[in-house]
Amino acid sequence: MTHKEENKLKRLIKKYNPILKESIESALTEDLYNLIIVNGDDKDFELKDLLQEKEQLKSFVLKEFILLNNKPITSELKNMEEISFRKKQVKQGRLKL
């Protein structure tokens, strides 16, 4: 992808951000409903009361999803190579003019 294409996509994502956010909230919440319904372990969880407050539920699901999947950069530090900051000896020569 070129730098020009990246900039165009950034502008489009910013432009359509409210719609994309709503779409993600709806998709995540719907998938969660389906997983709760299909998974036999979660039969005791009552969805009926939560479905009455859809907007609040969608916001909560998205917030929790982001919290679970947002790794801070410090967690990746253990995988980075250590950089040496030791001063290197450089042999200086005579400048000829």
pLDDT in tens, 9-64: 999 999 999 999 999 999 999 998 888 888 878 777 777 777 778 888 888 998 99
Closest CA to 42 of 54, 34, 30: 34
| Confidence (pLDDT) at 83 | 57
CA atoms 73, 68, 52, 33: torsion sign: positive
| Confidence (pLDDT) at 95 | 62
| Confidence (pLDDT) at 4 | 94
- Residue 80 within a domain: no
d(CA 33, CA 27): 10
- Residue 88 within a domain: no
Domains identified in the chain, total number: 1
Question: Which residue range is the domain that position 26 belongs to?
Answer: 3-71
